[in-house]
Each structure stands twice: as structure tokens, then as C-alpha cells.
């Protein structure tokens, strides 16, 4: 088993869960978020998770 695959898999799961939560909070009719402050936190978390995943993929 390769130990370098662990953090990438965990971050992938985090990115999927946070992305779905962010998608559910967005109202497409009014183009606003239900809870703007929480959406900012979700967005930052999603951005960090995707950035780390991409960096790990580039190293390989």
C-alpha cells in the first residue's frame, strides 16, 4: 500500500462533501446563497482542498 495516496483520497472526499453542500445552498433563481457566511467558509475549504489535490497530482 502506498502511503502517499491517503491524504489525497481524504481531501477528495472532503472536496466532494463541501462541494455538494455549497451547491445545495445556492439558489439558482435569485443567484444568491442561503447562508452567505457559511458559503464563504465552504468555498475557502473547497479551494484549499482542490489546490492540495492538484499539487499532489503534479508531483507524481
Q: Mean pLDDT, consecutive 10-residue segments, the chain of 60 residues?
A: 66 94 92 93 94 86
What pLDDT does 44 receive? 96
Q: Is 31 helix (H, G, I), strand (E, B) or coil?
A: coil
Q: What are the boundaries of each domain within the chain? A: 28-59
* E-assigned strand segments in 1-60: 26-27, 32-33
Cα dist. 31→4, 6, 26 in Å? Answer: 39, 36, 7
What pLDDT does 4 receive? 55
What pLDDT does 8 receive? 81
Amino acid at each position: 500500500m502506498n502511503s502517499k495516496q491517503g491524504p489525497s483520497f481524504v481531501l477528495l472526499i472532503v472536496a466532494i462533501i463541501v462541494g455538494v453542500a455549497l451547491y445545495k445552498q445556492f439558489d439558482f433563481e435569485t443567484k444568491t446563497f442561503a447562508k452567505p457566511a457559511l458559503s464563504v467558509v465552504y468555498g475557502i475549504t473547497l479551494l484549499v482542498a482542490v489546490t492540495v489535490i492538484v499539487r499532489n497530482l503534479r508531483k507524481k
